[in-house]
Amino acid sequence: MNWTSFSVFAVLFVVVAVAGFLSARWQRGDLDLLDEWGLAGRRFGTWVTWFLLGGDLYTAYTFIAVPAAVYGQGAIGFFAVPYTILVFPIMFLVIPRLWTVSKQHGYVTPADFVRGRYDSSGLALAVAVTGILATMPYIALQLVGIEAVLKVMGISGSWPLFIAFAVLAAYTSMSGLRAPALTAIIKDILIYTTIIAAIIIIPAKLGGFGHIFQVASQTLPTLKVPASVILSPKAYSAFATLALGSAFALLLYPHAVTGALGAKSAQTIERNASILPLYSLALAFIAMLGYMAIAAHIHSKVTSLIVPLLFAKMFPKWFAGFAFGAVAIGALVPAAIMSIAAANLFTRNIYKEYFVPNASSRQESRVAKILSLIVIAGGLVFVVAMPLQYAINLQLLGGIWILQTMPSIVVGLYSRYFHRYALIVGWAVGMVTGTLMAASTSFKSSVFALHLGHSVIAMYAAVWAVLANFVVSLVLTWLFNAAKVSKGEDLTLQSIAQ
């Protein structure tokens, strides 16, 4: 047990917990209303939104998994850097438009928009279920970061996770979206401090970046699956589609939409799209930790321990505790937003749509608060009761699944060409295709190699699946339109035109 590191870690955790509970009084609103609890009254300004979206999109799993991918796979692991660069131009084009429509019609979830745009409760249900399915393992995987730092500090057992997530559940239920917004500010200060220290201290101890790259270039080819610091031409299509597909998928996750809808205006989101790339710069340095771990001779069969082991070896004990706190708090913030987003989806698009159509906003808020507790508890039980590889496999599927809502949401914001029934069938085809592709690799890879004649094209399975989704949706739209099948009423037509 490393008591020095744990003491610093514990103090930081307490500070964040107190901030989470106190956030209920911040920018006061009636938290018995779903719009106030789930979206903080849509009143966050530019800087609060910047911290919230940064805390939302850059999770503890990013801090752990990206360096681990670079450590074990070399250059291909850097796909996360261009993908986060691509995210923000897409955000600039898509999310302000979604915010405007949602504000005008009182929409809380992306499925609300789909329901109004296509007049289809079935399509909205598909979007809602997909969002919840993709979010649950994402919440569970936030525990990977906390588990890793606890193990490195010498703490075993599941009891610390239960305590951490009990506190998370309590302040999330009490404060709603205000809690992760306020704690995200603390989280980012800790993360940036840790990254700055890491890129200065660790290379200095290891002989500089030149030596780090030299050791990595010599070590990676000797791995069981040989890798390199230079991307192979054969991996270009996989790298490019992983970046592009992940960029679209990230913005479609319910927690990303929830964070954006909490902004006070569409212009707030546009400004954020221009300044959020600062996080991409930070991510590039985070990815470099994988090569630093190789140069520092960190060895572990559990790759999620690579970064904590590196910090424990290279930092003083007190600052290692600080860095561990940054990783753990980096898990709590997005987990809170994810639980709120999943609760909003269930409440608005399942509970109200199919069980209590006349539910008031106060009833919706009560159900959402209960659901947020259940979602967090489910994520905790999932990780404790099941082997970690199953959680990782489902996370792989999460990205594949959530991208299948792209034709309904992203295209739907600009065009209503697709027929509502065609979109439902296209969604189903994409879900099945993507899942089968992932299963064919035994859920060990998100890249699927398709054999076309004498050519083999390896691409992100989610991209293959969404292409199948689009083709089916286009063909069936033509058939349904030719048969004059009703497209339903577009309730968003006027606001979209504006």
pLDDT of residue 381: 78
pLDDT of residue 388: 59
The span from the CA of 13 to the CA of 377, in Å, is 19
Q: Any idea what DSSP says for residue 452?
A: E
Mean pLDDT of the chain: 91
What pTM was computed for the model?
0.93
**CA torsion, ordered 431, 436, 442, 447, to nearest 10 deg:** -70
- In terms of average pLDDT, the best of 209-213, 298-302, 490-494 is 209-213
pLDDT of residue 494: 74
Question: Is the predicted pLDDT of residue 417 greater than 60, yes or no?
Answer: yes
CB-based contact 39:262 (threshold 8 Å): yes
Q: How many residues does the chain have?
A: 498
Question: Is the predicted pLDDT of residue 340 greater than 90, yes or no?
Answer: yes
The span from the CA of 61 to the CA of 74, in Å, is 18
pLDDT, tens digit, 9 for 90 and up, residues 211-221: 999 999 999 99
CB-based contact 164:142 (threshold 8 Å): no
459 membership: H or E segment, kind and range: strand 455-460
Closest by CA to 492, choosing from 414, 402, 404, is: 414
Q: Can you give the residue ranges of every domain in the chain?
A: 3-389
Distance separating the N- and C-terminal Cα atoms of the chain: 60
The span from the CA of 198 to the CA of 177, in Å, is 31
Query: Which residues make Cβ contacts (< 8 Å) with residue 289, sequence separation at least 6?
Result: 67, 70, 198, 202, 306, 307, 310
CATH class of 3-389: mainly alpha
